Structure 1
Amino acid sequence: MNKYLSKSPELDAVGFQASRRSFLKMTAGGSLLALSGAAVANAPVKIPTSRKTLALEHIYTGDKLKLTYFQQGRYIEDALQEISYLLRDYHTNDIHPIDPALLDQLHDLKLMLGINQPFYFSSAYRSPHTNTSLRKKCRCAARHSLHMQGRAIDFQVDGLAARKIRNAALFMNRGGVGYYKRSDYIHLDTGDFRYW
Structure 2
Amino acid sequence: MKHPIDEHAEIATGSKPLGRRRIIKLGAVAAATLMIPGVAAAGDWIRVDEVPLTSQVPGRMSIMRARTRAHYQQARYVPRRSYGGEVRSLKINNVHTGETLNTVYYENGDYVPGALNEVNYFFRDFRANLIKPIDPRLLDLLHTIHHSSDTTKPFNLVSGYRSPQTNAWLATQTEGVARHSMHIEGKAADINLPGRQLSLLQRIALAMRYGGVGYYPQAGFVHVDTGRVRRWG
- Please classify the TM superposition score into its range, dividing by the shorter chain length: 0.7 to 0.9
Partner of 2:227: 191
* Aligned AA (2:165): H
3-state DSSP of counterpart to 2:56: helix
3-state DSSP of counterpart to 1:98: coil
3-state DSSP of counterpart to 2:130: coil
Partner of 2:161: 125
Does residue 54 (structure 1) correspond to residue 104 (structure 2)? The answer is no
Partner of 1:105: 141
TM-score, normalised by the number of residues in structure 2: 0.69
3-state DSSP of counterpart to 1:148: coil
Q: Which of 67, 71, 91 in structure 2 is aligned with 1:23? A: 71
- After superposition, where does 1:81-96 map in structure 2 within 5 Å? 81-96=117-132
TM-superposed deviation, 1:140: 3.8
- 2: distance between equivalents of 1:56 and 1:148? 20
Q: Percent identity?
A: 35
- 1: distance between equivalents of 2:153 and 2:138? 18
List gaps (5 residues or longer) in structure 1.
Answer: 29-42
- 2: distance between equivalents of 1:143 and 1:5? 27
TM-superposed deviation, 1:115: 2.1
* Aligned AA (1:192): R
| Bigger relative contact order (CA 8 A; separation at least 6) | 2
Partner of 2:76: 44
After the TM superposition, list the runs of 4 or more consecutive aligned residues in structure 1 that deviate by more than 6 angstroms: none
List gaps (5 residues or longer) in structure 2.
Answer: 1-52
Structure 1 residues 152 and 23 mapped into 2: Cα distance closer, same or farther (>3 Å)?
same
Question: Over aligned residues, Cα RMSD in angstroms?
Answer: 2.3
TM-score, normalised by the number of residues in structure 1: 0.81
3-state DSSP of counterpart to 1:188: strand
Query: Are 1:161 and 1:184, in contact at CA under 8 Å, matched by a contact in 2?
Result: no
- 2: distance between equivalents of 1:185 and 1:165? 9
3-state DSSP of counterpart to 1:70: strand
Query: Are 1:5 and 1:170, in contact at CA under 8 Å, matched by a contact in 2?
Result: no
